[in-house]
């Protein structure tokens, strides 16, 4: 075992507790995406520009939180089938996109109306 002084053990314990708390908080934010928006007052300042769902490439869509390769593929297939989305609520018709995931996705995407 390491020969640590009482003060060194206290520092190691404090750092371990801080690390564990960070893991728990990060896990809560991933499990409950709405919690992050309620807690983080700087969210609007750090959120990237919204992605146009009708023009975005696969790699762009995969940058959206909780939108992996499978849902990205389904979105692109639905977009191609429809000829594009006219309303964000149409994403709800895609298998795997429930109300919670839709709210998360909707915060990061937009639809540009063609003139």
The pLDDT tens digits for 51-109 are: 999 999 999 888 888 888 999 999 999 999 989 999 999 999 999 998 888 988 888 99
Quick one: how far is CA 72 from the chain centroid? 13
Asked whether the whole model's pTM tops 0.75, one would answer: no
Higher-confidence residue of 12 and 42: namely: 12
Which uninterrupted H or E stretch holds 96?
A: none
Nearest C-alpha neighbor of 64 from the set 108, 111, 112: 108
pLDDT digits (tens, 9 = 90+) for 98-112: 888 898 888 899 998
According to the model, what pLDDT value does residue 19 have?
95
Residue 112's pLDDT is what?
A: 81
Mean pLDDT in residue range 12-27: 92
Contact by Cβ (8 Å): 92, 84:
no
Signed CA dihedral, 63, 64, 67, 70: sign only: negative
Reported confidence tier of residue 115, pLDDT bands at 50, 70, 90: very low
User: Per-residue pLDDT averaged across 26-30, rounded?
Assistant: 82
CA angle 4, 9, 12 (to 5 degrees): 120
The per-residue b/e assignment along 96-115, b for 16 or more CB within 10 angstroms, e otherwise, is ebeeebeebbeebbebeeee
CA distance 54 to 90: 12
């Amino acid at each position: 075992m390491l020969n640590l002084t009482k003060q060194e053990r206290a520092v190691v314990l404090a750092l371990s507790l801080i690390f564990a708390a960070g893991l728990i908080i990060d896990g809560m934010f991933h499990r409950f995406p709405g919690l992050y928006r309620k807690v983080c007052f700087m969210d609007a300042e750090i959120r990237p520009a919204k992605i146009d769902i009708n023009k975005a490439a696969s790699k762009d869509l995969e940058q959206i939180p909780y939108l992996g390769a499978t849902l990205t593929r389904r979105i692109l297939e639905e977009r191609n089938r429809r000829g594009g989305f006219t309303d964000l609520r149409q994403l709800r018709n895609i298998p795997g996109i429930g109300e919670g995931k839709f709210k998360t996705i909707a915060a990061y995407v937009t639809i540009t109306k063609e003139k």
